[in-house]
Amino acid sequence: MKALTVFRGLLAFLTAIPVKMDESFLKISARFMFLFPIIGILIGFLAGVYSFLASNVLFLLFNSLSTILFSGSQFLFSLFAKGFASIMTLAFILILIGLQHTDGLVDVGNALGIRHASLEDKVEIAHEWTVTRTGVLLAIMVSFLTFLHIFLMETDIIIQSLIVAETSAKLAMVTCGWQGSSPSPRFYEDKYEKGRDFIDHIRKKHSLYAISLAISLVVSITLLGLSGLLAVVAGIVVGGFMIIVGKRVFGGVNGDIFGATNEVARMVALFVLVLVI
């Protein structure tokens, strides 16, 4: 299979970037899931450049306003500029990936809010059009913490940091597929289970996971050294944790767990980077 076709298939699955692909992109993405970190690098780079430009443009704008209208308030206005740029960056990331992972995060939250229910009921309620309080709170919490970590990150390393964070998030998804197991088919209608093909192609395929891990480590360590290494480790840990969550709420790793893993792993990787840099 041509490398360009594989790249376009992965891009179609993991982002909202318009590429000309038919339904085969799902099978391509499942088969080449181990290359997810490559798309993470691209997403992180685009988001990082956007954040860097937004921060600098808004800083210049707010600094000019403070000089003209509110002399002596440069520091306060610089905080406003950084805050707006961080919100814009988070919005850019969510739009770039098409909110599909956030949808999975909400579904996981819906299921987590149901303490005394069978797996069948959790699956059904998680995918209802209505959103539970737990689903909303989980999505808000993860989004807010992601925004906060972007806000706390130094502008001069924001591009490297977002590349590493997105790479770590994609590695976390691969980790879920590598060590996770699919839910029992009796709990799912076909329309609800989209993760089984991915697990079938990566589960226990140690050589493929090694490629995914190597890509993540080389990029992250090159960009941020030890901090990048710790962010990658954080992604692996989140992937392992989400396998446990998936087993508890859905009976295994499904599409919603993959999506939620991406969002949580990005948040945790950014937290690690803010903490150690």
The Cα–Cα gap between 237 and 243 comes to: 10
Q: Any idea which of 86-100, 196-210, 214-228 has the lowest mean pLDDT?
A: 196-210
Q: Any idea which of 90-94, 113-117, 249-253 has the lowest mean pLDDT?
A: 113-117
Per-residue confidence (pLDDT) for residue 95, from 0 to 100: 94
> Do residues 108 and 249 touch, judged by C-beta distance below 8 A?
yes
Q: Is the pLDDT of residue 14 over 50?
A: yes
Q: Domain range spanning residue 187?
A: 3-276
The Cα–Cα gap between 265 and 238 comes to: 6
Span 102-158, pLDDT tens digits: 888 988 888 877 765 566 655 666 566 566 788 889 999 999 999 999 999 999 999
Per-residue confidence (pLDDT) for residue 123, from 0 to 100: 63
Cα 4 to Cα 1, 11, 183, 205: the distances in Å are 9, 10, 33, 23
| Claim: this prediction has a pTM higher than 0.85 | yes
Strand, helix or coil at 270? helix
| Per-residue pLDDT band at 25 (split at 50, 70, 90) | confident
Per-residue confidence (pLDDT) for residue 191, from 0 to 100: 46
User: What is the tally of structural domains in the chain?
Assistant: 1
Q: Is the pLDDT of residue 69 over 90?
A: no
What's the per-residue H, E or C state across 45-96?
Answer: HHHHHHHHHHHHHHHHHHHHHHHHHCCCCHHHHHHHHHHHHHHHHHHHHHHH
Span 157-203, pLDDT tens digits: 999 999 999 999 999 999 999 999 888 665 555 544 566 778 888 98
Which tokens hold the place of 165?
A: 């964070």
